[in-house]
Amino acid sequence: MNKKLIALATVVIIAGAIFAIYISLLPKASGIERYMRIPEKPNDFSAYSREIWGGEFVELCDLDGGYWKQPEFYGDSWKNAQEKFYDNPDYVMWGVYGQGSIPREIGYSFKNLKKGDEFKLCTFFHNGFGVWTYQGFKLIPFGENEYFKIEITPNEFITAPTFPVFEDEWTKKIEIKIIVKETPPKGDYIFRFNTQPPSRDFSREATKQVLKLEVDKELYYQDCLKYLKDTNRCEYLVNMREKKYVDGGNYQTNVSPLTINVEVL
């Protein structure tokens, strides 16, 4: 690889807005220990967060999961959700669809960019806060042309529920590689990404795999019963919501989950 990256012009880290559809079902209930699967927060989490949000630290592909698997990593979107769904959870509201990512916009400047050069970056794509479904997504790039090719790894994936507890794989590291097919002329190039439903085969297999997962159903049931004191309603709630897969890409937001601006000098 012969890459000449002269300047990283701008990195705009914007919290992923959380878009969700909720279905009104049951009365309000208090929560259980919702963060049991969140890794221990590094002692220097605040320092890293400061530099990432300030655009000074951009090597996100090398960032340890102890940082990006923290809900606090997602800034204001988490602050807004924490009180609504976790500090004072409401079982009336069932989060079915929702998504977010960080960063959402990145800018690079290159000089002497030529055929065969490539560079990669990472974004972190997460299930919406307060969502009790396993969602399947496919990321689709827009902006490829005769000069640039884009590879996304993984380009089809599942995000796990964030409610009643944060489950493993609630957030995913997505690697994006931009490959120079032909030496581009000077100018600005914009690449945007949207979500779509995964392939039908992927979704069918995902449904099977989700149904095979071991979920502490009794824990959810006892928590519900503790606050609702209604056996029938709690059985209905847990049975309807547990191990549910949906095609998250069916729900479109009005904001692209990621935009990459490339300036060729």
Q: pLDDT tens digits, residue range 187-202?
A: 999 999 999 999 999 9
State CA 149 to chain mean position distance. Answer: 23
pTM of the predicted model, to two decimals? 0.84
* Of 246 and 84, the one with more pLDDT: 246
Give pLDDT tens digits for 227-243: 677 889 888 888 988 99
Nearest residue to 102 (alpha-carbon basis) of 52, 138, 136, 166:
52
Of 183, 179, 191, give the one whose Cα is nearest residue 1: 179
Confidence (pLDDT) at 220: 86
Neighbours of 124 (CB within 10 A): 21
- If pLDDT is split at 50, 70 and 90, which confidence band does 183 have? very high
Domain positions in the chain: 7-264
For the domain made up of 7-264, give the CATH fold.
Answer: Immunoglobulin-like (2.60.40)
What percent of the chain is predicted at pLDDT more than 70? Answer: 87
Question: Tokens 């970056």 map to which residue?
Answer: 121
Q: What local confidence, expressed as pLDDT, does residue 8 receive? A: 39
Say if residue 222's pLDDT is above 90: no
Q: Which whole number is the average pLDDT over 215-235?
A: 82
Element (H, E) at 136: strand 134-142
Backbone CA torsion sign across 88, 91, 92, 96: positive
